[in-house]
Each structure stands twice: as structure tokens, then as C-alpha cells.
A and B are shown apart, each in its own frame.
Chain A
Amino acid sequence: MRVPILKQGDYLIASIQSALTDADLVQLRDDLAEMAGRYRARGIIIDVTALDVMDSFAVRTLRAITHILRMRGARTVIVGIQPEVAFAMVQLGLTLGDTMTALDLEEGLALLNRRREPR
């Protein structure tokens, strides 16, 4: 299933609705990389609330998306990681590196807004 990406002001919001295949993730990566440039987005939020499993490919792809979008001039925030998922990730040694994370969509938006203020 293709992940819907919504434009909200300077931000893009990718809201994952169901479990994703590896192909879906790659699609999401390509879509975001392309749209970030087209809409001149300053921030991207990826909502993973619906995911109850996060495998190494998913984590690696999310990390890659963050890096790609940074080069395209946008900050990425991953929001809505569930407690069980978070615990499983650290136990498996899957980390998101320096990717920003927030509790939910609202927090993610607040985080991006705060980041912009000093500029």
C-alpha cells in the first residue's frame, strides 16, 4: 500500500496506515525525496503509530530517508513509535542514530516549529 503524503504548510506528513512491505518503504523514500524538493518542504513527519513491528530494513530505510531529506534541506521527525516497538528495537540493536523522534504528530509539529524559531 502506498503511503499517503499530506502537505501542511512548510511540512510534509507521511502517515503510515498499515504494515509495509520493503517495496512500500522504498516507494515512500522515493516519494518523500521527490516531494520535499517539489514543495520546498522544511520539515517532514513520518507517523509510524500503526506499526507494531519494525524490522532492520524499516529502521535502515527510515534512517536513509532522514539523511536524504537533510541533503534536500528538510528536517525529519519520526513520531508514534509504540513502547513495545521501541523496546524491541533497542534490544535488537536497531537505532535511528541522530534522527529526531517525538511522541505523536502533535509533538512532532511542535518540535519542528521550535527548531525553526532561532533562525
Chain B
Amino acid sequence: MKIKGPTVLVSNESTSALLTELVAHLRQNRTQLREEWARRITESQLLTAMTKEEIFAEATSVYDNYVAVLETGAVEALQAYARDLSERIIPRGVETHEVVGIVLLLRDVLARSLFKKYQSDFALLNRVLDAYEPAANRIANTVAVGFVQERERIIRQQQEAIRELSTPVLQVRERLLILPIIGVIDPQRARQVTEQLLRGIRSNRAKVVVIDITGVPAVDATVANHLVQTVDASRLMGATVIVTGLSAEIAQTLVTIGVDLSKMKTIGDLQGGIEEAERLLGYKVILEATETQGAAKPPTTV
């Protein structure tokens, strides 16, 4: 069921009259209820990432927003506030359950105070709650959704950023490419890596490619198979692939899950891989004779 705004909730006059009364009551007891709420938040160990003063300051503005929504039934301002609040507190490590928790606490605190005020007249209390509950639920909903949306936006943004930096294909010698892979490989990224590599092979006219997976923390069957596919596809384009940087753990995993790496050339580290690649391409690296003893120059490729 879709919850409508309190002003259009029930067409009868009594509901909006009740809400007006309710808002007046909440405004009157603002200081006391706000303190009660802040106390309950601390007690429940929510928002531990924030200081007491910060909690109190936020509590005040949330409280005012809350009452304003109850009064007007318009959630737009609250939505904007929730987004803004989320933007500020997500980087501090505030969790979803905490945000939902504090809003529900406020709802409870206010409900308690209503119980207290109307305890003598059960019928009236019932009607007050009829007016209060839908509005309060809608507010809780708005805040929670706002928080989660903000969170998802941040995640999307970061995924985008990671994707952009993830796959450089570098030429280190004429016809020799290296492809360092760092971080977890998911199927989407794996596909992207392969596509870039194949395009790189064509545009650089590469004959040998060194794929270095030192920076890959773990390899599962999917990733391993993808590596095999990448190697096969590169071979179809006439390039030899050397895989380097297989750690002891990864090597063991691959043997255990039974991936067939027999068609793959593997070498321990990136240095060895590049040396082997140079050999395949016919390069010969010699250490230039030192003119003065002891001052060795770095090796030069001829």
C-alpha cells in the first residue's frame, strides 16, 4: 500500500486537526524530547563514529525536519536533508542500520510521549496514532532510502574510477607488451582486460605479451579459465603470452582445481618474464664494460 501524505491521507478534517495538535505538542516539548532521543541514541550505541556534540547537533536538525514533515506532509526538504546528511556521515563509517535505527528511535520516543499525553482517553489516542503512524513511517522510509541511494551512488562512482585505472597495456620494447593486472578480477573486468590486450596486440604489432598477475590476490576457476582464453585468443593473433607472478598459493589453487595451464608459458617473476620475452624477440642484454672500476652502469639493451 502506498502511503499518502498526511494532508491528503484522509479527507476528514479531524486528521489534519489532530496532526496540527500533534505538531504543537512536539514543538512545545522540543528540548525535552530531543534530549531523550539523543540519550537513547547514545544508550543504544548507535553513531559511535560521531561525538556526543555532533549527535546532538544532528539530532536537533533531524528533529526539526521531522516535525516539519509531520506538519506539511512534504518530504522533499527531508529528502534533500537526508542526502546531505548521508554525504557527510558515510565517509565517517556510519552504517545503514545505525541511520535506520536512530530514525526508528525518534519515532518511538515521540510515540511514547503521545501515549503519555493521551493516556486518559484511549479513543483519542487511537486516532492520534492513526494520524501519526503513517507519516512517521513515511519519514523513516524516506531517510533510509535516501541513505541507501547515496551509498549506492558512491559505490557506482568508485567502481567507475577503478575501471578507468585498471588495465594499462604498455609497450616496453618494440613488439613487446606488458600487462600488469592489479586487484581482484571480476568477469566484467576480465573481459575488458582481454579486449584491451587484443586491441593492443594489433595496434602495437606485438609478438610477445607478458601478463603479470603479482598484484592479483586470488584466482578462482573462472579467472583461471579466462586467463587461458586470453592466452588462446592472443595466440590466434600470432602473439606469444608469458604469464608471470603466479604466487605459491595461486599455483597451488590452480593445480587443485585442475586448470589446464599446459598451453601457457609461465615464469616466476616479471623480470624473468621480460628477459624470456627479449630472448624470444632476439634481444640480447649485455652489461656495458665499466670504464672505471666499481662504477657499474645499468645494463643496456642492444
Contacts and interface: CB of A to CB of B under 8 A. Distances in A.
A83 B233 CA distance: 8
Q: Which secondary structure dominates chain B's binding surface?
A: helix
A103 B198 contact: no
A87 B195 contact: yes
Contacts of A108: 238
Contacts of A84: 198
A79 interface: yes
A109 to B, nearest CB: 12
Contacts, number: 55
Contacts of B236: 78, 81, 85-86, 89-90, 96, 101
Interface in B193-243: 194-195, 198-199, 201-202, 205, 207, 229-230, 232-239
Given A103-B202, A103-B205, A87 B238 contact: no
Contacts of B198: 83-84, 86-87
A18 interface: no
B280 to A, nearest CB: 12
B237 to A, nearest CB: 5
A83 B237 contact: yes
B193 to A, nearest CB: 11
The 8 closest A-B pairs by CB, nearest first: A83-B198, A102-B238, A86-B233, A86-B236, A103-B238, A90-B229, A90-B232, A90-B233
26 contacts: A78-B236, A79-B238, A81-B238, A83-B195, A83-B201, A83-B233, A87-B194, A87-B195, A87-B198, A87-B229, A87-B233, A89-B232, A89-B233, A90-B232, A90-B233, A91-B229, A95-B232, A96-B236, A101-B237, A102-B238, A103-B238, A103-B239, A107-B205, A107-B207, A107-B238, A111-B238
Interface of A: 78-79, 81-87, 89-91, 95-96, 101-104, 107-108, 111
